[in-house]
A = this chain, B = another copy of it.
Amino acid sequence: MTEKRFMAGNEAIAEAAIQAGCRFYFGYPITPQNEICEYMSMRLPEVGGTFLQAESEVAAIYMTFGAAGTGARVMTSSSSPGISLMQEGISYIAAAELPCVIVNMMRGGPGLGGIHPSQADYFQATKGGGHGDYHLLVLAPHTAQEAVNLTMLAFDLADKYRNPVMVLGDGNMGQMMEPVEFPPPAKTEFSKKEWNLDGARNRPRHLIKTLYLDPPVLEKRNLAIAHKLGEAVKNEVRFESFMVDDADVVIGAYGTVARIAKTAIKLLRENGVKAGLLRPISLYPFPYQQFAKVAESGKKILVVEMSLGQMFQDVQLAVCGKTKVNFYSRVGGVVPGYDEIVREVEKTAKESG
């Protein structure tokens, strides 16, 4: 194992990208993820890569499109309003089946909102904030180390499925410093793909497009993408089950909230309340079955989220009425304390099932 480094989440994600072979980064500053930009501007030239500050998030996502089209490993990052501006581009990248990694360090919204942590872009990330039938693969780390691991995984998944992958964090995740280790450097040469653009030398020319004026042809394309995502749904569900087995109340939470929930669970168990945590790591594909199993076993569920009830809907879809699902949230940049979660779990535990 390599030495531990003490890094902020934003820096850890940036370094992880580089370790994963990312040599191209296009982005536009926005709090609370500026450190990703800044780290990349410092580090990429050192490894022979290119950092380019785009004129806007719209330009950044299409520069990412352009670089992705060559088959290179490429990343962009932003925070909520900037990610909204990328929605058209994200839809295009998904439609063109180009691999790339997009980081959203969510902040309070809507509008300019605030700069503090939020999880209110869940729908946008998982259901598709852009137009048309597509999905991002979405990974939500809850520690800096996991941010490293998932960022590296994100590049592999992007290549595997030729689909954009989002790493979804929040202001907290980006600013917090923790020890992180980097797995041994991945290979940095990636085999030429059969579709990438680099000049039609000794081969028929390649074409990256998303327009299919004939509806039946477009329908086929849509279904092919859906099929591919279906594979991801089968293979790429990731979650953590934390003290769920004997739990009476299972907290559903991801990212920052999930790690706060872990503290709450320790405290609750000291108070004699058997609490556990089911933590989606992949938000798309969502661990529906795992939640369904929890529901079937008769445990109560409390979803805690920094939004007014977004992942909550996916949990409800999973649970399908089989158990009661309570909901607790703080929004607008307020992070729920473990004391609040303790209180809510206790309430849930006391409710008649």
Contacts and interface: CB of A to CB of B under 8 A. Distances in A.
Interface of A: 58, 80-81, 83-85, 87-88, 91-92, 94-96, 106, 108-116, 118, 120-121, 123-124, 127-134, 209-223, 225-226, 307-308, 310, 313, 316-317, 320-322, 330-334
Contacts of A112: 92, 95, 209-211
A84 B80 contact: no
6 contacts: A84-B88, A87-B130, A95-B112, A113-B212, A124-B127, A320-B321
Contact of A80 (B83, B109, B132, B313): B132
Contacts of A333: 215, 218-219
Contacts of A317: 313, 316-317
Given A219-B333, A313-B317, A332-B222, A121 B111 contact: no
Contacts of A134: 109-110
Contacts of A307: 133
- Copies of this chain, complex-wide, total 2
Given A219-B332, A331-B219, A332-B212, A111 B96 contact: yes
Please indicate which of the listed interface residues A106, A124, A130, A213 has the most CB atoms of chain B within 10 Å of its own CB: A130
A295 to B, nearest CB: 10
A132 B221 CA distance: 31
A220 to B, nearest CB: 7
Contacts of A81: 88, 91, 131
A111 B127 contact: no
A346 B216 CA distance: 24
Contacts of A132: 80, 108-111, 113, 118, 120-121
B130 A84 contact: yes
A209 B333 CA distance: 17
Contact of A215 (B83, B91, B220, B332): B332
A110 B130 contact: yes
Given A113-B212, A114-B215, 15 more contacts: A84-B91, A87-B87, A91-B111, A108-B218, A109-B132, A109-B134, A113-B210, A129-B129, A129-B131, A133-B308, A215-B332, A218-B331, A218-B334, A220-B332, A221-B332
Contacts of A91: 81, 84, 109-111
